[in-house]
Amino acid sequence: MIAFLEVGSDSIIHQFILIFLLIMISPGFLQYARPQMLAFMFRHGHYTEACSLFFPFSQPTTEGETSLSSIPSDPLTTDYGTIDDLCDLCLGYGAMAVLENTIRTITQSPTYHEAHMIQYMNTVLTRICNYCETHRHFNYLYNFLVLSISICIFLWIP
């Protein structure tokens, strides 16, 4: 692969980019890269996109992505990490409000009224509330409790 690099060539940067892209699209690299994707997205300020990785119902899935239903042990674990990892990063980068807004947006979408979606979101909110209580972030705990109660009230109103 490196044999086609020409020392002193003007296009050596382009050749490096080509090699990097070839490595990036190899299946082995994708398996390695997914766990680091969440932290990478937060480091570069893509908080909303990082939060949406845990809510596959909010976007159409493409071929090759792992759906949450295919993971039998813990439905809140994805290829990108756990809800606790997401909460750690949201707290570290000051993006808990972004996570709250992401959940609020998803629960207001028309696809939210499916039974598996409601069950999944209730489980997510429970896990986030447990995280906030365990780590003593009571202001965020209050916000997510209010969000979960408002979602429950919204579902009961015809």
- The H or E element that residue 131 is part of is helix 115-134
Contact assessment for residue 48 and residue 102, using Cβ atoms and an 8 Å cutoff? yes
75: in domain: yes
16: in domain: no
pLDDT tens digits, 1-22:
344 444 444 466 656 555 555 5
pLDDT tens digits, 104-151:
998 888 878 788 888 889 999 999 999 999 999 999 999 999 999 888
pTM, entire model: 0.71
Distances (CA, A) of 24 to 16, 18, 36, 78, 98: 12, 10, 13, 20, 29
Nearest-5° angle of CA 34, CA 134, CA 46? Answer: 35
45: in domain: yes
For the chain, the domain total comes to 1
4: in domain: no
Please, what's the largest Cα pairwise distance for the chain? 71
